[in-house]
Amino acid sequence: MRITRKLAIAATAAAIVLTASACSSGGGATPTDSPSDSTLSAEAQAALDASYEGFGSDLSGLEAVSPEEGLNFYVMSCGEAIPTCAAPSAFMVQAAEAAGWNGTIVDGKLSPEGFATAIRQATAAGADVLVPVGISCSSAAAAFQEAAAAGVTIVGGGGLDDCDPKAWSAERLWLPDPPSPTGIFGAFGILQADYVFGKTNGDPKAVVLNMTSSPWGQLITDAFTAELEKLGGGEVLEVVDMADTETADGSFIQKATSALLANPDANALIVPTDGLLVNGLAAAINQAGLADKLVVVGNFGSEAAIDMIRAGQPGITATIGAAQEWEAWGSVDTAIRVLAGQDPAYIGQSMQAVDADHNLPESGPYNGDIDWRAKFLASWGK
């Protein structure tokens, strides 16, 4: 895990050796025409190693803070039907209860109307703190403004406060010197690009799925494209826009597979969230006979996606793990500090490419490589 920004890949390529990072045996599918690590160019191996190394921090210097007891903490899940919404929401409730708060989840049901309804439900129920998971402020601007006016402390849970005027008390902070100017979302795109560049020996031909319902989707896509340009190889064959409504009704599966079939030269599929793969896309890729020719990379390192990789399920090659439980506790830590009059801390959860042979946990989701829970609890006096 890189605690500071990575060096340019070209500067380190000459010194590459095969990666020794956190290996675990597994049966994950690899496209049959992909080169083995031993045949990669120095540049491709450097990129692949960079994806396995990832980014993050060790939470050193976390200041002490005392949570106010008995507050009502609400999490607005972007959609309980999607693992990458549901899991962080559950983790936040666990963290809030560890801090001495009462935790409740309200379901945004993957639509702007559902987001607004859930936010208003939490406000009416007497929420002291509200964390929206997986959406930005503009997705439900009026409801967020109403909650803020009612005195609810709103803290980001994976989105941006892009309302005008701003409605949130704080966004969750990642690293003081992130590898991308767009923070953790840019880092997802960087690591996805590094991974597919390495796995295709410097010649990815990618179909990219782009989430349009919240600004973070475009940030990932833009960072992926920029990193490929920086690496100097490969191309994006097509960008396929995906809305939350298409995720909710399942139509994204046909849309994505149609794009892959329309691009027979594609050797990589870039997926913005594991939830799409878990909820049918990986299976559809396999059923369409495409799994053996594609490097398929998701994001977030959800437990369900990790289980699929561990089981060797075709249709998913890797995910960019982002220690979702760690970041969920980080949102609660941010809320505690805001309510105590402190500046939010940089929570610094680690991010790394996870596949069948690298960084794969023995069980459960990707969770980083330090005891972050103990550090948060110690700083809260628990």
**Sequence-separated contacts (24+) of 300-304 with Cβ below 8 Å:** 300/84, 300/273, 300/274, 300/275, 300/324, 301/274, 301/354, 301/365, 301/366, 302/83, 302/84, 302/87, 302/274, 302/275, 302/278, 302/365, 303/83, 303/87, 303/364, 303/365, 304/83, 304/274, 304/278
List, in sequence order, every residue forming a beta bridge with 104; answer none if it has no partner: 74
Rounded CA gap, 216 and 117, in Å? 22
Q: What is the pLDDT of residue 37?
A: 61
* Residue 173 neighbours by CB distance under 10 Å: 18
Counting every residue written for the chain, the total comes to: 382
Q: What are the tens digits of pLDDT across the range 338-351? A: 999 999 999 999 99
Name residues whose C-beta falls within 8 Å of residue 179's C-beta, 6 or more positions apart in sequence.
2, 5, 6, 55, 186, 187, 190
The segment with the largest mean pLDDT, out of 33-37, 47-51, 212-216, is: 47-51
Look at residue 54 and tell me whether its pLDDT is greater than 70: yes
Q: What is the pLDDT of residue 22?
A: 33
Name residues whose C-beta falls within 8 Å of residue 302's C-beta, 6 or more positions apart in sequence.
83, 84, 87, 274, 275, 278, 319, 324, 365
Q: What are the tens digits of pLDDT across the range 251-284? A: 999 999 999 999 999 999 999 999 999 999 999 9
End-to-end CA distance of the chain: 28
Q: What is the pLDDT of residue 10?
A: 37
Q: What is the pLDDT of residue 247?
A: 87
Report the mean per-residue pLDDT for the chain: 90
Q: What are the tens digits of pLDDT across the range 68-123? A: 999 999 999 999 998 889 999 999 999 999 999 999 999 999 999 999 999 999 99
Q: What are the tens digits of pLDDT across the range 19-32? A: 333 333 333 445 64
Which amino acid does the sequence have at 291? Answer: A
Look at residue 4 and tell me whether its pLDDT is greater than 70: no
The segment with the largest mean pLDDT, out of 18-27, 35-44, 281-290, is: 281-290
Name residues whose C-beta falls within 8 Å of residue 190's C-beta, 6 or more positions apart in sequence.
179, 180, 223, 224, 227
